[in-house]
Homo-oligomer: A and B are copies of this chain.
Amino acid sequence: MVNIAVLGYGTVGSGVVEVVNTNGSRISQRIGDELNIKYVLDLKDFPGDPVQEKIVHDFETIIEDEEVQIVVEVMGGIEPAYTFVKRSLQAGKSVATSNKALVAKHGAELLSIAKEQNINFLFEASVGGGIPIIRPLNSSLTADEIEEITGILNGTTNYMLTRMFYEGADYEDVLKEAQEKGYAERNPEADVEGYDACRKIAILSSLISGQQVDFEDIYCEGITQITAEDMKYAKGMGMTIKLLASSKRYAGNRLHAIVAPFLLKADHPLYHVDGVFNSIFVHGNVLGDAMFYGSGAGKLPTASAVVADVVDAAKHLNRNIMTMWKEEKLRLEEKAGAKRRFFVRIKGEEESLLPAIQDSFGDVEVVRAEGLDGEFGFITPVMMEGDYEVRARLYREQILHMIRVEG
């Protein structure tokens, strides 16, 4: 029998219990041994819930029980999760977690403890919810240099942008609707400012580079400035706007990482990813393009990924699955050096402004949106962010909004 303890009986924790109850016999068959949830750690009691008999309030019960071989951490936040996970690993218990904040900050250290102990620290659910992406990166895409990983990694903002695209709705209205449906929290900052996506792309960047990428170093711009007018321009150009979290390799191990709204053409694999779904596009130097799509959040999809990690941990009880992620920090490339095109909305008349704009930005493509008078848009040729910024300063008074263009 393989005994596990679940830390936290919230949404994901109760999902983990449900998945084990629902698919227990198939899961045990895959492990080759019976899987048993011995403890569930929570501050609260759950009278009437069948889980009540497993509930403990003190982590010491779990850490001291040598029968517990795998700890599932689904509490979220840095503390006490970090302390509990670290102590579990040091005590020789493998850990599966869905906690992106913990993984982004302490992933390298926790992996190295797991390696020393010849056990495992697994975190498939921390990025992309139920979508298998961490394990494919670690054990399937191993013949490639990953040159790009670009994802729609936040379901809340993708739901909002999808509504804005199809209904021409305003940001404030779709936010309210998302909150009413429970897709967005009352304080939606972590989602709409891009912080959630930023932690996830930091984790993916660390994995493809093998070094620590700090999320604080990644330029992060949310969707709060995206308007119905921006989306109107996008549609007029046969494009849409998506919040992308992206990491691209330049020469060697140099990465450009960014979280920001991007204009995407209809032939981009991420263009059609609608609603709360997540999707991760990967380009390998020999594989070419690949994409992984699915539910990026939600109780059962996330629990599915956590329990899959438990199965993997149970199949590798005394054997470390090597994951390359050193604590040594990777210095990201400056945003100013990233090359791309920029879509700019500008106040004023095309006739009077265009000659100067062409002088500054080169051969721009002028874009009009129906019903938007007294303004126009243009797309620059490919240029460095730094060069764009210098030139944009000249039009500080006239520029209404700038959105980056992907591809």
Residues of A whose CB lies within 8 Å of any CB of B are: 15, 18-19, 22-23, 26-27, 29-30, 32, 124, 130-132, 135-136, 139-145, 269, 272, 277, 284-295, 298, 300-301, 303-308, 310-312, 315, 319, 322, 324
Contact = CB atoms under 8 A, between A and B. Distances in A.
Nearest to A20: B143
A287 B269 contact: no
A29 B135 CA distance: 17
Given A23-B145, A145-B26, A322-B30, A290 B132 contact: yes
- Copies of this chain in its oligomeric complex: 2
B142 A311 contact: yes
A300 B322 contact: no
B139 A139 contact: yes
B324 A304 contact: no
Contacts of A311: 139, 142-143
Contact of A289 (B294, B306, B322): B294
Contacts of A132: 136, 140-141, 290
14 contacts: A22-B286, A23-B143, A27-B143, A140-B308, A141-B308, A142-B312, A143-B303, A286-B304, A287-B294, A287-B300, A287-B305, A288-B295, A290-B292, A290-B293
B287 A142 contact: no
Contacts of A312: 139, 142
A144 B22 CA distance: 9
B284 A304 contact: yes
A109 to B, nearest CB: 21
Contacts of A303: 143, 286
Residue from A132, A285, A295 with most neighbouring chain B CB atoms (10 Å): A132
A272 B286 CA distance: 23
Contacts of A298: 288
A71 B23 CA distance: 36
Given A286-B301, A288-B294, A144 B322 contact: no
Contacts of A23: 143-145, 285-286
Given A27-B142, A130-B287, A292-B293, 16 more contacts: A22-B286, A23-B145, A26-B145, A30-B142, A131-B290, A135-B136, A135-B139, A142-B311, A143-B308, A272-B272, A287-B294, A288-B294, A290-B295, A291-B291, A291-B294, A315-B322
A158 B231 CA distance: 32
